[in-house]
């Protein structure tokens, strides 16, 4: 019984202390505005309350502290020596609180927000870089943090709430609730080669005819490689790359250095083709379209900046700035 009584007394003391702290902060806030303006009417207006209420609070605070904080004069409310000392501490505390409130307000706005995105290299080059560039022309202060991950990894970090959204390549697994997926870009891979294979330029080839050439591709655990393995297998053809890479950004340099021929999205090779470092091999076999998808999780709250950017990306698709399925 004694233990329960002690616990009850302790809970009561905590409640009383919290109540007093809340009351004191309100007193301090009112004291701060009266001292700042040196006028009861102006302080009441800033606090959106009445002058008598402000006066009563100041009297209560003075009673609690056991000293006078203000002297009423013709010019308004003047701080006593005790009041000046007290104001130094209260103003510093209020400034911190006000800065904290402003910081939260800024984080809840578009222009002071930050957005974290997990994206595949294909998504980055095909549409994400372009979308961020266009978005920052409107909202230049928004900060972006981009994680370069595989499609599978991107979905994993999204589910854990570590990113605001994911921008991924075509994936071989279903997207289930609470994840939402939107196709934001479609593309068709093209087959390219370096100068060493210029004898193939301008000729219409079949995959069967190209099988004996060296190929460069991604490793077997990647989405792109799974896609190509399936594509060749359906035609009864082997696909055994001479050189394999873990990341897409290494494919183009490898092809430019004549290590083999390979498939890449058109966005990856525009400049290299214009410079003449590589060229497109025309093939009779039709390549299926692939897509880039924007994925987000409904269970995690979205910041204003993240929500606005997502709508911006989807709006670009609607306006036809990215080709969609």
In tens, the pLDDT along 240-298 reads 999 999 888 899 999 999 999 999 999 899 999 999 999 999 999 889 889 899 999 88
pTM: 0.62
Count of residues in the chain: 325
Within 13 Å, how many C-alpha atoms sit on residue 142's CB side?
A: 23
Nearest to 197 by CA among 181, 209, 183, 184: 209
150-180 residue pLDDT tens: 888 899 899 888 899 999 986 656 677 788 9
Mean pLDDT by 10 residues, the chain (325 residues): 50 48 74 90 88 91 90 88 91 79 62 87 92 93 92 88 88 72 92 95 93 94 89 93 92 96 93 93 91 87 85 77 41
> Concatenated DSSP letters for 16-79?
HHHHHHHHHHHHHHHHHHHHHHS-HHHHHHHHTS-HHHHHHHHHHHHHHHTS--EEEETTEEEE
What is the pLDDT at residue 221? 84
Q: How far apart are CA 232 and CA 236, in angstroms?
A: 6
8 A C-beta contact, residue 206 and residue 236: no
Strand bridging mode 204-205 / 216-218: unpaired
Q: How far apart are CA 97 and CA 95, in angstroms?
A: 5
Long-range contacts of 68-73 (CB under 8 A, 24+ apart): 69/31, 69/35, 70/34, 70/35
């Amino acid at each position: 019984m004694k233990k329960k009584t002690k616990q009850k007394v302790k809970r009561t003391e905590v409640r009383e202390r919290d109540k007093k702290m809340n009351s004191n902060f309100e007193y301090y806030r009112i004291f701060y505005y009266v001292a700042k303006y040196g006028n009861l009417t102006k302080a009441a207006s800033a606090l959106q309350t009445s002058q008598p209420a402000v006066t009563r609070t100041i009297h209560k605070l003075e009673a609690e502290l056991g000293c006078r904080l203000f002297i009423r004069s013709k010019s308004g409310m003047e701080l006593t020596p005790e009041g000046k000392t007290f104001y130094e501490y209260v103003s510093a505390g209020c400034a911190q609180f006000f800065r904290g409130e402003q910081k939260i307000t800024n984080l809840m706005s578009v222009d002071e927000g930050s957005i974290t995105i997990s994206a595949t290299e294909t998504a980055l080059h095909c549409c994400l870089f372009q979308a961020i560039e266009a978005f920052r022309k409107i909202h230049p202060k928004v900060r972006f943090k981009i994680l370069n991950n595989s499609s599978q990894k991107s979905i994993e970090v999204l589910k854990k709430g570590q990113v605001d959204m994911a921008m991924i390549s075509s994936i071989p697994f279903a997207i289930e609730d609470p994840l939402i997926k939107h196709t934001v870009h479609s593309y068709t891979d093209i087959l390219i080669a370096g100068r060493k294979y210029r004898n193939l330029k301008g000729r219409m080839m079949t995959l069967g005819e190209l099988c004996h050439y060296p190929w460069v591709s991604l490793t077997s655990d990647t989405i792109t490689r799974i896609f190509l393995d399936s594509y060749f297998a359906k035609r009864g053809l082997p696909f055994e790359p001479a050189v394999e890479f873990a990341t897409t950004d290494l494919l183009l340099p490898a092809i430019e250095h004549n290590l083999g021929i390979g498939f890449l999205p058109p966005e990856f090779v525009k400049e290299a083709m214009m410079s003449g470092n590589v060229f497109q091999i025309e093939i009779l076999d039709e390549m299926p379209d692939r897509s880039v998808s924007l994925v987000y999780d409904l269970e995690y709250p979205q910041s204003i900046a993240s929500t606005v950017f997502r709508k911006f990306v989807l709006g670009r698709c609607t306006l036809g700035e990215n080709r969609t399925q």
